[in-house]
Structure formats: structure tokens, C-alpha cells
């Protein structure tokens, strides 16, 4: 019995980790600046390629993954400075600008690198409970997702940067008047967001085929998690991921991946009819 | 009737504009006489996509709803035409198939639109929800390779695409080559004129008022949600028309015409052209499609990089669109030359001037 229970938890953890890791970066950028980064998938792809490149050069996997996340974060800061910065007053245009960037990056990668790169296998290691065997790496991913949530909680709730960032989130003009350098806060937040995207790519690189269009695999999950989470991302993202992971897990188990994804989409469309502000609006109301 | 054609919501009016319009139309009509049949076929192919662009222009430029789901409805109608044409047989029934498939796409738009618009989704979320639906449809169709995925006798065939449906036909006469070209021209003229009349009608004024300020429009007593849904259904139905025509033109359709990067293309055309005007969208989309096709022959990736660059350049340099901007410069220069006095500044493209009568 406990083996079955663990198996259910394991499947939940797998989907939950995927949702959190793919959505965290997008959610931070959206929550701070009200901008959806359409090139999110390309930062994920960047993280994956850097990881595989470094591992093929002989760098140990965990080190390569951290370096990949940092690389994606730094590129994000540059992109913020060159492009995204101009669009904070025009969020819809930021969508178009980053989508243009995404097209440029994906198709240039296809031109330069070609379609397939030699991947690295999933780290070995499995364990058995009862008659089931489980891959250890999938649990590592779950651990990473939880660590990302805890890390974001600490950064945004316990540090001085977090206080200023939340003030900027609530009222940028007022925060600026009080001396916060909102421009810098935005750049750092965008960097954190793309860094998390890079981390997502780095963590999933060993489990996937590397193709320049791999970002598209993640964007649906990240979009729907952010939509269900709602405006207050610090509050909404984790419950949204729990909710969607439950639906997805139930459908995956009985009908397969694609039906799981379709079911998740239907759930999201129903949710926005009932709760257009997302789950966080309910939580905020309860909190008061 | 003519008043609706030359109303305040569309640029280009008066004798000069309509003479140009007729000249271009006449040129388009005699084109097949001079060109070889391969080029005529290619032109029909560009014209297929114009409907999708005009639909997006209506939703985004006039209605203020940025839908990323044009290829979603393109795909529904495209696959719909395939399934219907295969199951109902060829001949004149293909005409019924094309009409039914567009209606299916419009019904899908009504359902999706109901949930989004009545849920109060707007702005960025409207875009990403429609894009999510689009990508999920593309993923779904991509994994339908097995023989168990079929509707009637029509196999979906996964990434290889659905094929084997009949092209448009009336009785034994296949509408191909020049005939198809003339059908396309006729459809484009009808759609263009009809959309012009729609946006200049009282319904169109409410649609534009909703874009400008939904609360204000609501306070004036209009149920803005109904107008938004109407706009969304018409715009998406036009994408469906493109899809059904595409499938009948090439007698095949694959999921890659739904997913990324195809989903970005209508956005690029309309943004580059100038979303706030139907004529600019018509002209700009055609130019872009022509350019894209020319480059694709050498490298599809390079053509897509160019499209991405154009999108980025448009929002950074000319957020209202390049074609519209250039068109306005020309008109500006023209009026200044004629009057020999400072030209009246054209109202910025976001809000067109009201009728001064």
C-alpha cells in the first residue's frame, strides 16, 4: 500500500517540479514588471545548451548546471537593458518584442548549431519501494523545485532587496520617490527570472533531446501556471502548480501525457471564467 | 452604403484612394493573362493568408484584443476541411466542406471567447491563453500518427500531416490555377469591403469605443462583452477561412502550420503593416508574404530570423506599423504639396479622427 502511495506522490512530484521550474522565472518577471517574457523558452534552451556544452568539456554536471543558470541570468540582464527596459509602459509591446527575439534566437540556433546536439544521459540511479523502481534524478528535480520556492521566499521576504522589490511591485513611482533604484531592481529581477529559466533548462537537459525549439515544450506549462496563479505571483504560483499538478497527474496516469496537457488547458479555461484574477486573488481575500 | 465605405475608422478615402484601389484591382484581374501558371499559383498561395491577417487586424487593431490564436482556428478549419472533404467526397460537396469548416472554427472561437471574455481576461493574458490553446492543439495533432487516430475515413497522420482530400470543385470542374486565383481575389475584395463597412457601422464604432475604454463603453449602455465576442468570432472565422483554403489549395495540412513559429506569423504581418487600419494590413501582409516566400526558397530559417527582426524593429522603432507610417508620410507630403501650406497633422493612428460633419 505504501508503495502505491509513494508512487502517487512520485508522479505528483514529477509534474509539480516541471510546473514550478518552468514557471518560476516567467512568474517573477510578470509579477515584478507586468511583462510576459515570450523568449522564456529560449532562456530555458540556453540553460540546457550551456549545461550540455560544459559537461561535454568535462565539467561536473551540478557545476555545469549552476554555471548555465548564471549565464542565462547574465544574458537576461543584457536583454533587459537593451530591449525590455523600453516597454515597461507598454506591456503588450513587450510581448511582441520578446516574441521577435524568441524567433530570432530559435531560428539562428537552427541555422548555426543545426537540429540535434549530442545529449548527456540522465544521471543513473534508482531506488525501489515495494515492487516499483523510481529514478532518483526525478526526486532531485522535485527537491530543486522546492529549493527554488524556498529560495524565492527568502529573497523576497527576508532580504533588504526583497523589501525594496516588493515595494516596487506594489507602487513603482512611490518606491522611486523614496529612493529605490527601480531601474536596477527591474534589471535584477529580470536577471533572476531568466536565470531561473536557465536553471530549468539546465536541470532538464539530461532528460531531454536538445533541439533549438525545445523551449516550446515548456512554455504552455509556464503560461498556464502563471495565468492560474494570478497577479500576485509570490502567493499564487505555488498553489497554482499544486492544483494543476493534481489534475495533470490524474489524467496522465489514466490517459497519457497529451490528454493530461489538454485537460490542464481545459481546467485553466474554466478557472479564468470563475476566477479571472487567479488563485492569488482568493488567497489575498482570505488573508484580509 | 458608400458612407460606410468611407467612414471615420478607415484610412484612405475620396476619389484618389478609390481610383488607386480600382487600378490595383484591375491589375490583379489581368495579371494571369501575362504571368505563367506557376506564378499565378504562388500568388493564390499568398492571398490565402490575407484573410487571417485581416481577421487579426479587426480583433487587435480595432477591437484591442491581441489574439495569438489565429493559427489555432486556421488549424481547426484546415483539419476540418480535410476531414469533411475526405468523408463527404469531392465535387460540389467541397464547397459545403469549406463553409462548414469555417463555421466549426467560428463555433470554437465562440466557446473559447465566451470563457475568456466573460471571465474578464484581457491584455497580456488574452494573448497567452490563446497561444497556449494553439500550442496544445499542435502538440495533440503532432502525436496522432497511429492508425487509431482517425475521424471517419480521414487519418490525422501526426507530423506527416493529413492528405488525400479533394481540392475545391464544382461538379467535375476543379477550382485550380487561374480559377482559384480569381476566387481568391473575389473573396478578398468581398472580405475587405465587408470589414470596412463593419468597422464604420455603428457596431464598429462600439468595437472601437471598447478598445479605447471598455468601462466608458459599458457606462454608455453597451454590453461590451457581446461586441468583443462578435469581433473575436469574426476575426477567428477569417483565420478559419484561410485554413480551409490552405488545405484545399495544397491538399494537405500538418501541425507545423499551427504551432510555433507559424503562430507568430500573423502577428508579424499585422504589427509590421499597421494594425489600426485594414488597408495597411492588406498591403503590408501581401508584401511580407511575398518577401518571405522569396527568401524561404533559399533558407526557411533565415526568412524566420528576418520576420523576428522585423517584429522587434517594428515595436522598437514604429509601434504603429511601418506600412501605415510610410503611407501617412506619403499622404502628408501629398497634401502639403497640394495646399502649399502646413499640412494638418494627422491624428495618431491609435485613435482615428472623428467624422467632422
pLDDT tens per residue across span B256-266: 999 888 999 99
Angstrom CA distances, B244 to A114, B73, B92, B98, B234, stand at 33, 10, 15, 6, 15
Nearest to A3 by CA among A175, A131, A124, A91: A131
> Scanning every residue of chain B, which has its alpha carbon at the shortest distance from the alpha carbon of A222?
B132
Lowest-confidence pick of A16-30, A121-135, B93-107: A121-135
Sign of dihedral through CA atoms A75, A76, A78, A84? Answer: positive
CA distance A105 to A78: 15
Tell me which residue of B174, B323, B134 sits closest to B126, measured CA to CA: B134
Q: Given a cut of 70, is residue B169 above it in pLDDT? A: yes
Q: Is residue B79 part of a domain?
A: yes
Please tell me the distance from the alpha carbon of residue A222 to that of residue A73, in angstroms, as a whole number.
Answer: 18
Do the domain assignments include residue B144?
A: yes
Per-position DSSP letters for chain A, written without gaps between them? -HHHHHHHHHHHHHHHHHHHHHHHHHHHHHHHHS---TTHHHHHHHHHHHHHHHHHTT--HHHHHHHHHHHHHHHHHHHHHHTGGGGTT-HHHHHHHHHHHHHHHHHHHHHHT-S-B---PPP--EEEETTEEEEHHHHHHHHHHHHHHHHHHHHHHHSHHHHHHHHHHH-HHHHHHTT--HHHHHHHHHHHHHHHHHHHHHHHGGGS-B-TTTHHHHHHHHHHHHHHH-S-HHHHHHHHHHHHHHHHHHHHHHH-HHHHHHHHHHHHHHHHHH-TT-HHHHHHHHH-
Determine the average pLDDT of the residues in B151-173: 86
Average per-residue pLDDT for chain A: 89
Place of cell 537593458: A81
A261·B120 Cβ contact <8 A: no
The answer to whether the CB atoms of B319 and A270 lie below 8 A apart is no
Distance (Å) from the alpha carbon of A62 to chain B's nearest alpha carbon:
31
- From residue B227, give the alpha-carbon distance in Å to each of A63, A261, B70, B146, B352: 55, 31, 19, 42, 20
B123-142 burial, b at 16+ Cβ within 10 Å, e below that, comes to: ebbbbbbbbbbbbbbbbbbb
C-alpha cell at B81: 476541411
Angle of the A2-33 helix axis to the A40-56 helix axis, nearest 10? 120
Please tell me the pTM assigned to this model.
Answer: 0.91
Q: Which of B118, B123, B136 sits opposite A261 (nearest CB)?
A: B136
Residue A1 confidence (pLDDT): 66
Phi and psi angles of residue B77, each rounded to the nearest 5 degrees, phi first: -70, -35
B307 touches chain A (CB under 8 A): yes
Cβ contacts of A93 within 8 Å, gap of 6 or more: A87, B315, B319
Beta bridge partners of B62: none
Task: Give pLDDT, residue B348.
Answer: 44
Using CB atoms and an 8 Å cut-off, which of residues 129-158 of chain B contact chain A? 129, 131-133, 135-136, 139-140, 143
Chain A residue numbers with beta carbons less than 8 Å from the beta carbon of B322 are none
Q: Which of B128, B260, B319 sits opposite A223 (nearest CB)?
A: B128
Nearest to A111 among B128, B302, B314 (CB): B302
**pLDDT recorded at residue A91:** 86
Highest mean pLDDT among A266-270, B217-221, B235-239, B245-249: B235-239
User: To which residue does cell 481610383 refer?
Assistant: B19
What number of residues does chain B have?
357
Average pLDDT of span B309-317: 91
Which residue range forms the structural domain that includes residue B83? Answer: 2-259
pLDDT-based confidence at A288, cuts 50/70/90? low
Asked if residue B310 is part of any domain, the answer here is no
Q: What is the mean pLDDT of residues A220-235?
A: 87
Any A CB within 8 A of B290 CB: no
CATH number at residue B223: 1.10.3470
Report pLDDT digits (tens) over A204-216. 999 888 888 888 8
In B, minimum Cα distance to A267 occurs at: B115
Whether the bond between B261 and the residue before it is cis, its omega within 30 degrees of 0, is yes
Query: Please, are residues B272 and B322 in contact by the beta-carbon 8 Å criterion?
Result: yes
- Quote the strand ranges of chain B, DSSP E: 150-151, 154-155, 162-163, 169-170, 173-174, 252-253
Interface of A with B (CB under 8 A): 34, 36, 83, 86-87, 90-93, 95-97, 99-104, 106-108, 110-111, 213, 216, 219-220, 223-224, 226-227, 258, 261-262, 265, 268-270, 272-274, 276
B36 pLDDT exceeds 60?
yes
For A41, nearest residue in chain B (alpha carbons): B260
Residue B82 lies in a domain: yes
- B61 CB neighbours in chain A (<8 A) are none
Q: Where residue A257 falls among pLDDT bands split at 50, 70, 90?
A: confident
Neighboring chain B residues of A85 at a CB cutoff of 8 Å: none
Q: Please report the DSSP string for B41-102 in residue order.
A: HHHHHHHHHHHHHHHHIIIIIIT----S-HHHHHHHHHHHHHHHHHHH-STTHHHHHHHHHH
ipTM here: 0.91
Q: Is the pLDDT of residue A82 over 80?
A: yes
Is residue B316 less than 8 Å (CB to CB) from chain A?
yes
For residue A89, give how far its alpha carbon lies from the nearest alpha carbon of chain B (Å). Answer: 13
- How many degrees, rounded to 5, is the angle at CA B185 between CA B181 and CA B189? 170
- pLDDT tens by residue, B122-151: 888 899 999 999 999 999 998 888 888 888
pLDDT at site B26: 93
pLDDT above 90: residue A127: no
Boundaries of every domain in chain A: 2-212
| Binary contact (B129, A106; C-beta < 8 A) | no
- Contact between A193 and A21 under an 8 Å Cβ cutoff? The reply is no
- Residue B343's SS3 state is coil
Verify whether the Cβ–Cβ distance A265 to B132 is below 8 Å.
Answer: yes
- Of the partner residues B115, B136, B261, the one whose CB lies closest to the CB of residue A103: B261
The secondary structure element, H or E, covering residue B149 is none
Kindly list the residues from chain B whose CB atom is less than 8 angstroms away from the CB atom of residue A220: 132, 135-136, 139
pLDDT above 70 (res B110): yes
pLDDT category at A287 given cuts 50, 70, 90 is low
Q: Is the predicted pLDDT of residue B353 greater than 60, yes or no?
A: no
- Across the interface, whether the CB atoms of B118 and A95 are under 8 A apart is answered no
β-sheet bridge partners, residue B169: B174
DSSP summary character for residue B280: H
Cα dihedral value B71, B77, B80, B82, nearest 10: -80
Say whether pLDDT at B342 is over 60.
Answer: no
Task: Please name which of B280, B257, B236, B200 lies closest in space to residue B55, comparing C-alpha atoms.
Answer: B236
Q: What is the 3-state secondary structure (H, E, C) of A191-231?
A: HHHHHHHHHHHHHHHHHCCECCCCHHHHHHHHHHHHHHHCC
Mutation site, B60, B301, B317, interface A, largest A CB count within 10 A: B301
- Asked if residue A92 has pLDDT above 60, the reply is yes
Give the integer Cα–Cα distance in Å for A280 and B272: 36
Q: Give the strand pairing for A126-129 and B150-151.
A: unpaired
The C-alpha angle with vertex B102 and arms to B101 and B108, in degrees rounded to 5, equals: 90
3-state secondary structure of B186: helix
Count other C-beta atoms under 10 Å from residue B258's C-beta: 29
CA distances from A232 to A170, A239, A285, B254, B345 (A): 10, 12, 12, 39, 43
The alpha-carbon gap from A223 to the nearest alpha carbon of chain B, in Å, equals 6
Number of structural domains in chain B: 1
Amino acid at each position: 500500500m505504501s508503495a502505491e502511495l509513494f508512487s502517487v506522490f512520485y508522479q505528483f512530484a514529477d509534474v509539480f517540479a516541471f510546473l514550478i521550474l518552468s514557471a518560476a522565472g516567467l512568474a517573477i518577471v510578470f509579477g515584478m514588471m507586468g511583462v510576459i517574457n515570450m523568449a522564456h523558452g529560449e532562456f530555458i534552451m540556453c540553460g540546457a545548451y550551456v549545461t550540455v556544452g560544459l559537461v561535454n568539456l568535462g565539467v561536473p554536471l551540478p557545476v555545469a548546471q549552476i554555471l548555465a543558470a548564471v549565464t542565462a541570468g547574465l544574458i537576461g540582464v543584457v536583454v533587459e537593458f537593451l530591449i525590455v527596459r523600453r516597454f515597461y509602459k507598454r506591456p503588450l509591446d513587450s510581448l511582441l518584442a520578446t516574441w521577435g527575439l524568441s524567433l530570432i534566437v530559435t531560428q539562428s540556433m537552427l541555422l548555426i548549431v543545426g537540429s540535434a546536439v549530442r545529449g548527456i544521459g540522465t544521471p543513473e540511479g534508482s531506488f525501489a519501494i515495494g515492487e516499483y523502481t523510481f529514478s532518483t534524478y526525478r526526486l532531485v528535480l522535485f527537491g530543486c523545485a522546492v529549493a527554488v520556492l524556498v529560495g524565492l521566499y527568502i529573497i523576497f521576504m527576508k532580504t533588504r532587496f526583497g523589501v525594496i522589490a516588493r515595494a516596487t511591485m506594489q507602487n513603482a513611482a512611490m518606491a522611486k520617490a523614496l529612493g529605490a533604484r527601480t531601474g536596477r531592481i527591474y534589471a535584477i529581477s529580470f536577471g533572476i527570472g531568466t536565470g531561473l529559466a536557465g536553471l530549468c533548462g539546465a536541470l532538464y537537459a539530461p532528460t531531454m533531446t536538445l533541439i533549438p525549439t525545445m523551449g516550446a515544450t515548456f512554455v504552455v506549462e509556464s503560461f498556464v501556471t502563471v495565468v492560474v496563479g494570478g497577479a500576485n505571483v509570490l502567493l499564487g504560483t505555488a498553489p497554482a502548480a499544486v492544483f494543476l499538478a493534481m489534475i495533470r497527474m490524474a489524467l496522465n496516469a489514466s490517459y497519457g501525457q497529451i490528454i493530461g496537457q489538454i485537460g490542464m488547458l481545459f481546467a485553466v479555461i474554466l478557472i479564468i471564467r470563475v476566477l479571472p484574477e487567479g488563485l492569488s486573488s482568493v488567497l489575498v481575500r482570505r488573508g484580509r | 452604403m458608400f458612407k460606410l465605405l468611407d467612414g471615420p475608422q478607415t484610412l484612405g478615402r475620396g476619389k484618389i484612394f478609390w481610383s488607386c484601389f480600382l487600378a490595383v484591382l484591375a491589375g490583379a484581374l489581368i495579371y494571369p493573362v501575362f504571368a505563367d501558371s506557376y506564378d499565378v499559383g504562388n500568388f493564390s498561395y499568398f492571398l490565402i493568408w490575407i484573410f487571417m491577417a485581416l481577421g487579426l487586424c479587426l480583433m487587435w487593431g480595432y477591437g484591442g484584443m491581441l489574439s495569438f490564436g489565429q493559427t489555432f482556428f486556421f488549424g481547426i478549419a484546415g483539419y476540418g476541411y480535410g476531414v469533411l472533404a475526405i468523408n463527404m467526397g469531392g465535387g460540389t460537396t467541397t464547397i459545403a466542406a469549406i463553409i462548414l469548416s469555417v463555421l466549426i472554427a467560428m463555433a470554437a472561437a465562440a466557446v473559447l471567447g465566451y470563457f475568456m471574455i466573460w471571465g474578464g481576461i484581457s491584455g497580456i493574458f488574452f494573448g497567452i491563453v490563446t497561444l497556449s490553446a494553439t500550442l496544445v492543439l499542435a502538440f495533440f495533432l503532432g502525436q496522432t500518427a497511429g492508425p487509431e487516430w482517425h475521424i471517419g475515413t480521414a487519418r490525422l497522420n501526426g507530423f506527416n500531416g493529413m492528405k488525400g482530400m479533394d481540392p475545391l470543385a464544382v461538379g467535375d470542374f476543379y477550382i485550380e490555377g487561374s480559377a482559384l486565383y480569381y476566387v481568391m481575389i473575389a473573396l478578398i475584395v468581398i472580405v475587405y469591403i465587408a470589414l470596412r463597412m463593419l468597422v464604420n457601422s455603428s457596431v464598429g464604432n462600439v468595437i472601437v469605443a471598447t478598445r479605447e475604454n471598455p468601462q466608458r463603453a459599458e457606462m454608455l449602455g453597451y454590453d461590451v462583452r457581446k461586441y468583443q465576442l462578435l469581433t473575436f468570432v469574426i476575426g477567428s472565422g477569417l483565420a478559419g477561412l484561410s485554413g480551409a483554403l490552405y488545405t484545399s489549395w495544397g491538399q494537405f495540412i500538418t501541425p507545423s502550420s499551427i504551432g510555433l513559429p507559424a503562430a507568430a506569423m500573423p502577428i508579424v504581418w499585422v504589427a509590421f503593416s499597421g494594425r489600426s487600419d485594414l488597408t495597411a494590413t492588406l498591403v503590408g501582409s501581401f508584401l511580407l508574404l511575398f518577401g518571405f516566400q522569396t527568401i524561404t526558397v533559399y533558407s526557411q530559417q533565415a526568412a524566420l530570423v528576418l520576420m523576428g527582426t522585423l517584429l522587434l524593429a517594428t515595436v522598437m522603432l514604429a509601434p504603429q506599423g511601418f506600412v501605415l507610417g510610410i503611407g501617412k508620410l506619403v499622404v502628408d507630403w501629398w497634401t502639403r504639396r497640394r495646399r502649399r501650406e502646413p499640412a494638418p497633422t494627422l491624428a495618431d493612428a491609435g485613435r482615428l479622427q472623428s467624422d467632422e460633419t
